[in-house]
């Protein structure tokens, strides 16, 4: 595989989540069929609040809105919690905990490419790939916890 001309490899090489992966490990990911999803329309729901969560997503191209439905009496309103761009990872909590989705993910650009990895696929990777994948997810969770703690401390000041 020519990693200079493969469009998926180009995308992966621009995403920091994959920085610790070797070129060979990245090539093995790109060769894996069925884990890359392309959405060519804005407003496509990737998953919905309450769905069974079995996979983590890495945005390789495009923008995703993370939203939650809020109710005020009989009124239902979608509240956007985050807008995620290329390089963002989402859905990891459901993958790690086998819990239901607590938010909805919707495409927010006309082209979105994600890598979707479920538990079965993750466990089928070489151990070296699994190890890096897990380390990156743990680092991500630590960064998010630090961010939440900092926001909490700033609100207390």
Residue 14 within a domain: yes
Residue 71 within a domain: yes
Q: For the chain, how many structural domains are there in total?
A: 1
Report the half-sphere exposure of 145 (CA within 13 A, side-chain side): 7
By residue range, what is the domain housing residue 64? 7-156
Residue 147 within a domain: yes
* CA angle 98–148–78, rounded 5-degree value: 65
> Tokens 């804005």 appear where?
42
Q: Check which CATH number belongs to the domain holding 18 and give it.
A: 2.60.120.10
- Full-model pTM: 0.87
Residue 45 within a domain: yes
CA–CA dist 47, 64 (Å, integer): 11
Residue 1 within a domain: no
Residue 59 within a domain: yes
Q: What is the pLDDT of residues 82-104, one digit of tens each?
A: 999 999 999 988 888 878 999 99
Most confident region among 34-48, 65-79, 87-101 by mean pLDDT? 34-48
Residue 2 within a domain: no
Residue 48 within a domain: yes
Is the pLDDT at 119 greater than 70, yes or no?
Answer: yes
What length is written for the chain? 157
> Tokens 């969560």 appear where?
53
The beta strand positions in 2-157, using DSSP E, are 36-39, 45-47, 55-61, 64-72, 75-84, 89-90, 104-107, 112-118
């Amino acid at each position: 595989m020519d990693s200079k001309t493969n469009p998926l490899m180009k995308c992966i090489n621009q995403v920091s989540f994959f920085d610790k992966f070797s070129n060979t490990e990245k090539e093995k990911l790109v060769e894996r069929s069925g884990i890359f999803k392309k959405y060519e329309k804005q407003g496509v729901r990737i998953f919905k609040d309450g769905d069974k969560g079995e996979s983590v997503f890495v945005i390789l191209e495009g923008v995703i809105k993370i939203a939650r439905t809020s109710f005020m009496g009989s009124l239902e309103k979608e509240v956007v919690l985050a807008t995620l761009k290329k390089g963002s990872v989402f859905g990891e909590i459901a993958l790690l905990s086998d819990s239901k989705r607590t938010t909805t993910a919707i495409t927010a650009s006309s082209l979105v490419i994600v890598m979707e990895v479920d538990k079965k696929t993750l466990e089928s990777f070489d151990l070296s790939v699994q190890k890096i994948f897990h380390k990156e997810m743990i680092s991500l969770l630590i960064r998010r916890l630090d961010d939440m703690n900092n926001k909490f401390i700033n609100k207390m000041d």
